Amino acid sequence: MDRFRLDALARRSLLRRLRTIDSAPGAEVELEGRRILLFSSNNYLDLATHPRVTEAAISAIRRYGVGAGASRLVSGSLRPHRELEERLAAFKRVEAALVFPTGYQASLGLITTLAEDCSVFYADRLCHASLIDACRLCDAPLRVYRHRDHAQLTRLLQRGRTPRPALVVTDGVFSMDGDLAPLPELDKAAEQASATVVVDDAHGTGVMGATGRGTVEHFGLEGRPLVQMGTLSKALGGLGGFVAGSRDLIAYLVNRARAFIYTTALPPAQAAAAIAALDVIEDEPERRERLWALRRRLHDGVRQAGFDTLDSRTPIIPLLIGDAEAALRLSEALLSHGIYAPAIRPPTVPAGTSRIRLSVTAGHTPAQIDHLLEVLQKICASDDSLRERLRGAPPPPS
């Protein structure tokens, strides 16, 4: 690789580098020799280190070892995979579920398989990269509709009617904006056009809905023919992905989804950890309550400080900055005060919408949230150009 390409990224403030953390992904971590406050993890319910979850993983390692040894269809389909799939189907209140090694692979496996029968994809402009990549692997054309614009989608679906059904692809909770897909409207538009909606609920599972079942529960759409996928890597604290839907869909995926068939199965300890995480989600609703109370505290605080948080409704709270260089500067200023919240820049978000993406977890304390707010205020007080940017933000709610 040409050094020139790296230099070009650096000149545009788009160079990324990996930082090393020497501790579990809690509210405080040890980053390159320093104790710092972490505001960027998707470990929303703080389950990555929950004793029931870690103990389940350890005892599964003792019984099954560290790896599945093969693809599920060869010899890697182990008891914890089956049990987890039954638990996920019950949790999502659908007939069946299928576990993949990662959420990314669940997207690839699901979309490429559904594409066999689909004429065209319609995807929200801010869909997760895994969904877009999956659509790009298929022959069917990909049409992008404006972010959350269900009216535009309805028009596109009506105009583009074909004998074979269309597939509508959306995140439930958008991973960089923290806002919600208008699922009831998407469901209605799809029904009118005999299309199918696929919801990537990576950030909704465990977080959204009265009992944490996700954005489909949040919108009261359980029982509707939406196909859901999600991850075990965020609120559930581990690793892995899943698809939840009808028994026939799951049986077909087992036969056709290349991202399921041609890869080694999820390590059984991760399946056992996810089962324990689902137990904790059901047994400890106070975790979710704590998460939402902390989220409210932080969101109110940053809005009062003048930040534009787009239409965030979830524990993902973007601080919209605009250009990549300014977002990077704010992220570095936060780090100099012992707070890690990386700048999210293109290509992860559209050009001109670089931001700090804050994420809250049930493992944070109110004092840590207040500390972050104080630090943000201190940085704003000493940075004229940041203050100038905030003046253009929409006014805070009264």
Ligand X SMILES: Cc1ncc(COP(=O)(O)O)c(C=O)c1O
Site of interaction with ligand X (CB under 6 A): 102-104, 107, 128, 130, 171, 175, 200, 202-203, 231, 233, 241
In this complex, which beta carbon is closest to ligand X, that of residue 107 or of residue 354? Answer: 107
Instruction: Dig out the tokens for 70 from the structure.
Output: 């093969």
Q: How far is the CB of 3 from ligand X (least distance, A)?
A: 29
Q: How far is the CB of 84 from ligand X (least distance, A)?
A: 14
Q: How far is the CB of 241 from ligand X (least distance, A)?
A: 5
User: Which of 117, 182, 113, 116 has the alpha carbon at shortest distance from 147?
Assistant: 182
Catalytic residue among 41, 107, 130, 175: 175
Q: Give the Cα separation of 278 and 275 in Å (integer).
A: 5
In this complex, which beta carbon is closest to ligand X, that of residue 231 or of residue 331? Answer: 231
Q: Give the Cα separation of 209 and 295 in Å (integer).
A: 15
Q: How far is the CB of 107 from ligand X (least distance, A)?
A: 6
Catalytic residue among 81, 92, 150, 203: 203
DSSP 342: P
Catalytic residue among 81, 128, 234, 299: 234
Q: Is 144 exposed, middle or buried (0-12, 13-18, 19+ CB in 10 A)?
A: middle
- Cα–Cα distances in angstroms (integers) from residue 272 to residues 58, 61, 78, 207, in the given order: 9, 9, 11, 20
The dihedral formed by the CA atoms of 391, 394, 396 and 398, expressed in degrees to the nearest 10: 120
Q: Give the Cα separation of 40 and 28 in Å (integer).
A: 11
DSSP SS3 for 122 = strand
Q: How far is the CB of 362 from ligand X (least distance, A)?
A: 19
The dihedral formed by the CA atoms of 179, 362, 266 and 21, expressed in degrees to the nearest 10: 100
In this complex, which beta carbon is closest to ligand X, that of residue 261 or of residue 373? Answer: 261
Q: How far is the CB of 34 from ligand X (least distance, A)?
A: 26
3-state class percentages of the chain: helix first, strand second, coil last, to nearest 5: 45, 15, 40
User: Which of 220, 176, 165 has the alpha carbon at shortest distance from 198?
Assistant: 165
203 is catalytic: yes
In this complex, which beta carbon is closest to ligand X, that of residue 236 or of residue 380? Answer: 236
Give the bridge partners for 216, in sequence order: none
Q: How far is the CB of 161 from ligand X (least distance, A)?
A: 29
DSSP SS3 for 99 = strand
In this complex, which beta carbon is closest to ligand X, that of residue 76 or of residue 204? Answer: 204
In this complex, which beta carbon is closest to ligand X, that of residue 44 or of residue 104? Answer: 104
CB closest to ligand X, residue no: 103
Instruction: Dig out the tokens for 385 from the structure.
Output: 């150009």
User: Which of 10, 13, 101 has the alpha carbon at shortest distance from 352?
Assistant: 13
User: Which of 2, 8, 238 has the alpha carbon at shortest distance from 103?
Assistant: 238
Instruction: Dig out the tokens for 215 from the structure.
Output: 């954005």
In this complex, which beta carbon is closest to ligand X, that of residue 104 or of residue 145? Answer: 104
In this complex, which beta carbon is closest to ligand X, that of residue 348 or of residue 377? Answer: 348
Instruction: Dig out the tokens for 222 from the structure.
Output: 């359980």
Q: How far is the CB of 61 from ligand X (least distance, A)?
A: 20
User: Which of 306, 323, 270 has the alpha carbon at shortest distance from 393?
Assistant: 306
Do 318 and 147 form a contact (C-beta atoms < 8 A)?
no
175 is catalytic: yes
- Mind telling me the catalytic residues? 175, 203, 234
